[in-house]
Amino acid sequence: MKKTNIKEMPFFYDRYIDLVSENETVLEALSSSQNILEELKESLIQQQDYQYQEGKWTPKDILQHLIDTERIMSYRALTLARGEQQELIGFEEQKYAQHTNAGSRSVEDLLQEFSLVRKSTLALFKSFSDEMLLREGICSGIHVSPLIFGCICVGHVQHHVNVLHERYFTK
């Protein structure tokens, strides 16, 4: 299934989904983007503790945020694929970021964890049928599906890679 199979583009998440290629299935997009952060390893190491502005995240904070978000999106996809009918709750990324240990971890460790999480996400999405990918539910008042969450996993990483290039690696 491709992002073009999404029935209704969800508000807020569209900015991530728009970054996903229309030519790839969600599995192809998850697979082809799994090494995108590893390719930035040297830049991430060089700028690991840099904040472009007071109160902004460091690259290590961003890596932890990507890991946390991918786990949450995968969980959401799993629940909907399995027929969950209760509305899924949102999460406050800033509050999550306040309670991590990213600052004391190495870039290499964070990249390894992201790689493991992405492999797990790929395995999960490989287990879904087309019917499961399109099962709908509600999250924070928005109609969503596992396909949407898979696309968010891809586009969310690309969004932050773009931010890293624009605000961290240009100095």
- Calculate the CA dihedral of residues 45, 149, 97, 54 and round it to 10 degrees: 70
- Residue 55, domain extent: 3-168
Structural domain total, the chain? 1
Average pLDDT over residues 112-122: 98
Q: Do the beta carbons of residue 150 and residue 101 sit within 8 Å? A: no
What whole-number percentage of the chain has pLDDT above 90? Answer: 95
- pTM of the full predicted structure? 0.96
What is the DSSP secondary structure assignment for residue 78, as one 8-state letter?
H
Q: Can you spell out the DSSP letters for 106-156?
A: -HHHHHHHHHHHHHHHHHHHHT--HHHHT--EEETTEEE-HHHHHHHHHHH
pLDDT digits (tens, 9 = 90+) for 7-53: 989 988 999 999 999 999 999 999 999 999 999 999 999 999 999 99
Measured CA to CA in angstroms, residue 101 lies from 13, 37, 42, 109, 170 at distances of 27, 19, 21, 12, 26
Residue closest to 26 by CA, chosen among 161, 127, 162: 127
CATH of the domain at 157: 1.20.120.450
If phi over 0 gives left and psi between -120 and 50 gives alpha, with beta otherwise, what is residue 81? alpha
